[in-house]
């Protein structure tokens, strides 16, 4: 058995683009007693200026049933308008089975009537119990957070009211302190005046008053 590998380069011009191609030829000679076979395998590999494939953005999303509070069951609600054939919709995939995608109303309508999907819808709570339990936990947590947020807002409002009351009392305290100071000064002045009047009264009381007319005689009377 003989193996020959040939590698070469070539340039192909087409569609306005230049491409470098590596050509690999593999020649197998198989020597058999009865026959000799020659097999040539050729591979062309584009290694330069290869046209890039454009990436198509994914628009896939998961299709979910909607809970109906009136019946307590999950129902199918179309994400598309009836008979709308627009191609700008998202592509929905239902987890009821593999490759169950649809992107228009008619596709959705056909899918929800399938036996597999009907069984999935009837047992939706069972199939999605972990997911539904987690969602319920999130709902309960959001409700609890909402209560705590309201409680926090109430306490914040009370704090603001108490803070305003404290500021008012502090202002009244300063005003009262100023009034006390003013009253103290007035009291001091009144005390000083009182002491002065008291002193005058003592001097008057200590004075000797005579009933004799001699003390009232003038020089004219003496002459």
70-129 per-position pLDDT tens digit: 998 999 999 988 877 766 678 999 999 888 889 889 899 999 999 999 999 999 999 889
pLDDT of residue 202: 83
For tokens 């200590």, the residue is 206
Q: Residue 3: enclosing H or E segment and its boundaries?
A: strand 2-14
- 107 contacts: CB under 8 Å, gap ≥ 6: 101
User: To the nearest whole percent, how much of the chain has pLDDT over 90?
Assistant: 33
pLDDT of residue 206: 82
pLDDT single digits (tens) 22-70 = 444 444 444 443 444 444 444 444 434 444 444 444 578 999 999 999 9
- Cβ-contact 92, 107 below 8 angstroms: no
- Cβ-contact 31, 3 below 8 angstroms: no
């Amino acid at each position: 058995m003989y193996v020959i590998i040939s590698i070469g380069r070539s340039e192909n011009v087409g569609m306005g683009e230049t491409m470098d191609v590596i050509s690999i030829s593999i020649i197998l000679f198989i020597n058999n007693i009865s026959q000799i076979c020659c097999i040539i395998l050729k591979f062309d590999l584009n290694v330069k200026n290869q046209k890039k494939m454009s990436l198509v953005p994914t628009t896939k999303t998961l299709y979910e049933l909607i809970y109906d509070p009136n019946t307590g069951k999950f129902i199918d609600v179309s994400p598309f308008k009836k008979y709308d054939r627009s191609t700008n919709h998202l592509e929905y995939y239902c987890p009821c089975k593999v490759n169950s995608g649809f992107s228009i109303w008619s596709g959705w309508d056909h899918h929800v009537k399938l036996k597999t999907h009907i069984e999935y819808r009837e047992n939706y709570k069972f199939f999605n119990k972990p997911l539904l339990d987690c969602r319920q936990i999130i709902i309960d947590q959001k409700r609890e957070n909402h209560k705590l947020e309201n409680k926090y807002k109430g306490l914040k409002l009370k704090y603001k009211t108490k803070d305003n009351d404290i500021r008012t009392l502090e202002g009244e305290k300063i005003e009262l302190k100023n009034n006390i100071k003013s009253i103290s000064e007035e009291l001091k002045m009144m005390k000083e005046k009182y002491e002065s009047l008291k002193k005058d009264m003592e001097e008057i009381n200590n004075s000797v008053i005579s009933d004799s007319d001699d003390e009232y005689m003038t020089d004219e009377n003496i002459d």
